[in-house]
Chains A and B, each alone.
Chain A
Amino acid sequence: MNAQRLAAVRAGAGFVLRRLAAALPNLLGVVVVTFLLTRALPGDPAAYFAGPAASREAIEEVRRALGLDQGIATQFGFYLRDLVQGDLGNSISTGRPVATELIERLPASLELTLIALLLATLIAVPLGVLAATRPGSVVDHLCRVIATVGVSLPTFFTGLLLAYVFYFLLGWAPPPTGRLDPAFSPPQTVTGFYLIDALFALDGELLAAVAGQIALPAITLALFVIAPISRMTRASMLGVLSSDFVRTARAVGLSRTRVLYVYALRNALLPVVTTLGMVFSFLLGSSILVEKVFAWPGVGSYALEALVASDYAPVQGFVLVLAALYVLLNLVIDLAYGVVDPRARFEG
């Protein structure tokens, strides 16, 4: 390995470490805020856990057992200790550990979110490129209108409309209830993602049923995030197209397609990758609403069911898990950015 390569590898490792270190305060902030939310709960948790018929002594007993008689710093210590052990408390309505239930339901939510992201990217990036190559044209205005309408859509409302049109009126989609028609049994769990598991099971009928079920919720979510992705692609593409290296590429007579896709698009996609963080924030938030509309058995509807039953441990676990997931996603995006664009590794 020559010296130059070694320096590059070192810079790469330094970059990864720096980004990891930058994610830590965010993760700590998330834990502190969730802990404070736990403390802000309405009512007395000790009385709540002891049950309605408990005597004063029993409540005090529970208070001691839960560590609620200690100072706030000690309680935070307990909270951290439980977190490290993966203990998010128990759900009152089901009596099972929250962590277990969240892990069971996470694949459903992730599958929905990722499919929606894929769908949105496949539509938004070409749309943004088209708009940027023909500024002021019909496509450009269309892109602008779609972007503005897209961010104005209440996801819970578009979901309902799609269900009405494609299930009730046209009958193209299955009823908006869950991940799979009860007539089918779910594929054997390999990844937890039904689409992939059905592929592994080589069951075409099952795959079609799964795909039909996920189509409407995924489209609903995708519609919402097409706007930010296409806008960013357009803006960034406009910037790149007016840059010197594109002018040079055109001047030396490279074909239009080659200039557009090999040189311009690759560079224009970098800022788009960084906006994916914001897009994920939107996606994770609206997935709660979409899960409710389509009775999707993910973590969002789990938290909502708990909320209705005044069962707070699952809600807190949900907020913590989603926030941690979001911090990690941003970390992955940062790292991916470093891989795609070597310049980022050497900068601040």
Chain B
Amino acid sequence: MRRENLLTVVAASLFVFFVLLALFGPWLVPYDPLSTSAGAALSPPDAAHWFGTDALGRDILSRVIVATRLDFGIAVAAVAVSFLIGATLGCLAGFHGGWHDRIISRLADTIMAFPLFVLAMGVVAAMGNTVANIVIATALINLPFYIRVARAEVNVRREAGYVEAARLSGASDTRILVMHLFPNILPPMMVQISLNMGWAILNAAGLSFIGLGVRPPAAEWGIMVADGAQLIVSGEWWVAFFPGLVLMLAVFSFNLLGDGLRDLIDPRRRT
């Protein structure tokens, strides 16, 4: 097996591991992730608490595991929303051209005119501090990428032989788009999804880190790192270290997987 394939297999296993944690995490944890215990506050990692405990005596391992579902949930929801809306808009722009294309491309350009994390922060600040708004903000800043990929991919296939054949046999524009073009642009869109997932998680965790979105005491990786931020300079490293490490691993596995997927589907785009 080639080295790249091996890396992709490692990434895929990590990914499956995280999905299992997200699905079954709450039943796997050794302690209640919310139960506090003043006596065991800030104890370093040991046999009872593998990842140590935080300032309120909560078990960090349990909280890290339980947080997987929330972090993945936000990222999956955000990416799904921007995939659906972005693919629809991009298909319309690429297929019809003309004013459809101008308006939709202008929308994508306007979003891209912002530093994206700053836009997400502004959106959550303006719309209110909820998990749903984090999903909306993350979906919004991912939107241009899906619009662009879908538009470009539909555009090059617009005059393809099978599209002409479908048109000759009397299929409507909508039917051609949904039944013939959309399935054909799925592979590059899938690559975009896996490349975006890691970024979506990073964004959501970053927003929580600055105090937007998820609220304490809910377990979420970004918030947990923020909890440990003050403690790390006085030597209690484990409070921020483990959630940060797991967050990094999750994003890393997504990015590796995305790269592997892209090499499989479109080897020419490898950089």
Query: Residues on A close to B: CB < 8 A?
Result: 25-27, 29-30, 32-34, 37-38, 40-42, 141, 148-149, 151-157, 160-161, 163-164, 167-168, 175-176, 231-232, 234-235, 280-282, 284-286, 288-289, 292-293, 303-304, 307-308, 312, 315-316, 318-319, 322-323, 326-327
Query: How many residues on chain B are close to A (CB under 8 Å)?
Result: 50
CB-based nearest B residue for A156? B209
Using A154-B225, A280-B115, A323-B115 as known contacts, list a sample of 10 further A-B pairs with CB atoms less than 8 Å apart, ordered by residue number in A: A29-B106, A154-B205, A154-B209, A154-B244, A282-B115, A308-B211, A312-B125, A322-B118, A323-B113, A323-B118
Contact check: which of B110, B114, B222, B229 meets A160 at CB < 8 Å? B229
Q: Given that A286-B117, A326-B114 are known contacts, is A154 also in contact with B202, CB under 8 Å in the complex?
A: yes
A304 near B247 with CB under 8 A, answer no
Complex Cα distance, B271 from A234, in Å, reads 7
Complex Cα distance, B259 from A282, in Å, reads 20
Could you list 6 examples of A-B contacts with CB < 8 Å?
A148-B259, A154-B248, A156-B222, A160-B228, A168-B237, A232-B271
Query: Residues on B close to A: CB < 8 A?
Result: 3, 106, 109-110, 113-119, 121-123, 125-128, 198-199, 202, 205-206, 209-212, 222, 225-226, 228-229, 232-235, 237, 240-241, 244-245, 247-248, 251-252, 254-256, 259, 271
* Best-surrounded residue of B206, B247, B254 (most CB of chain A within 10 A): B206
Number of A-B contacts (CB under 8 A): 155
Complex Cα distance, B207 from A292, in Å, reads 12
Which residues on B sit within 8 Å (CB–CB) of A322?
A: 114-115, 118
Which residues on A sit within 8 Å (CB–CB) of B199?
A: 151
Complex Cα distance, B212 from A282, in Å, reads 19
Which residues on B sit within 8 Å (CB–CB) of A34?
A: 122
Q: Given that A281-B115, A285-B117, A307-B125 are known contacts, is A152 also in contact with B255, CB under 8 Å in the complex?
A: yes
Which residues on B sit within 8 Å (CB–CB) of A157?
A: 225, 240, 244-245, 247-248
> In angstroms, how far is the closest chain A Cβ from the Cβ of B176?
30
